[in-house]
Structure 1
Amino acid sequence: MSNAPPESLLPYENWAARALRGVAVDALEFAAGEGLPGEHHFYISFRTDHPGTNIPGHLKARYPNEMTIVLQHRFWDLVVDRAAQRFSVGLSFSGVPSMLSVPFGALTAFQDPQANFGLRFEPDAVEAQAEPEPVAPAPEAPGAESQADVPQVVSLDAFRRKRE
């Protein structure tokens, strides 16, 4: 005889995961409306390959499965859309402004180190592969130069052999 508890016919684990993910969404919604108080900042990890995740191609190439973003001092246009079950935010990556749009179901972790608080999630299983949304051009960060105005210079010094 097995001492294992009977399997539930109610999806308690799914409900609990959705409720915990809601804590992260509440925190994002607070930051969108009020900003981040004091030294609070968020580390948010998500699946880049989750249907509906919309990130620029250079980030998708660099992070094909999962990435972590930090919301602290330099982010803009943080919008939480509960109806669409997603959030979007503007961030700079190596000086390049980018807009990201992430479904709540793609979240894998949320941390606020200031509060010593963190959650881990299993990404929602999605049966049908959704069409990705088209990537809109990133709005310029306040005070940022446009991409066309910034010269793209690559230093070759790192690749040269140094002679002694």
Structure 2
Amino acid sequence: MSRTIDYGNLMHRAMRSLIQEVLQDVAKDGLPGEHHFFITFDTRHADVQIADWLADRYPGEMTVVMQHWYDNLDVGDDGFAITLNFGDSPEPLYIPYDAIKTFVDPSVEFGLRFETQDEEDEDENELETLLDEVDLEAKEEEEAPRKDADVVSLDSFRK
């Protein structure tokens, strides 16, 4: 049985850990300077907790902004709880890290994007196709008959 290193899951775990650490710092000290976050998450994730009217309005994914007003930020190991203002109506949310699709801080042009398994499979297939093409080109070069170098006399260009 062959074993492989699952780089995709390792990267996702590291990136989610980074988000957790950033949010813990914000919960402790507030948002520094111009920093603010756009967080897109899957509203269908089993552990997401949002108001029914938000789930109805955003049946697949939702992007929230943490900037000027937020309250009750509570950062845990599996996700974070926060109260955000939706048209003068404060709403509590719970977003598991596994539900996050993108995390962006435009003030410093930083962003993370989490691929779904389908997207990963698509990217993996594209990578395999590219690797196959490169391998095929290398084999064709190896199999192509080598020509001896043509020796050209400079006398043929003289008048």
Same fold (TM over 0.5): yes
Q: Which residue of 2 aligns with 1:78?
A: 73
Aligned residues: 117
Alignment check: 8 A CA contact 1:43 1:69 kept: yes
* Partner residue, 2:93: 100
Question: Structure 1 residues 52 and 29 mapped into 2: Cα distance closer, same or farther (>3 Å)?
Answer: same
Deviations 1:35-69 (A, max 9, x none): 00111101111000011000001100000110000
Between structure 1 and structure 2, the one with the greater Rg is 2
* Unmatched tracts of structure 1, length 5 or more: 1-6, 126-164
Give the match's secondary structure for 1:55.
coil
**Structure 1 counterpart of 2:146:** none
Cα offset for 1:8? Answer: 5.7
Code of the aligned partner of 1:38: G
Aligned to 1:4: none
Question: Alpha carbons of 1:60 and 1:117: their partners in 2 closer, same or farther (altered >3 Å)?
Answer: same
The CA RMSD over aligned residues, in Å, is 1.8
Structure 2: 5+ residue runs without aligned partners? 119-159
Instruction: Compute the displacement of 1:122 (Å).
Output: 2.9
Instruction: Confirm or deny that 1:31 pairs with 2:13.
Output: no
Q: TM-score, normalised by structure 2?
A: 0.69
1:89 correspondence with 2:86: no
SS of residue paired to 1:77:
strand
In structure 2, C-alpha distance between the alignment counterparts of 1:103 and 1:30, rounded to whole Å = 17
**How is 1:1-164 mapped onto 2 (pairs within 5 angstroms)?**
9-82=4-77, 85-122=78-115
Looking at structure 2, the residues matched to 70 and 90 of structure 1 have their Cα atoms a distance apart, in angstroms, of 11
Aligned CA distance change for structure 1 residues 94 and 60 (closer, same or farther; 3 Å): same
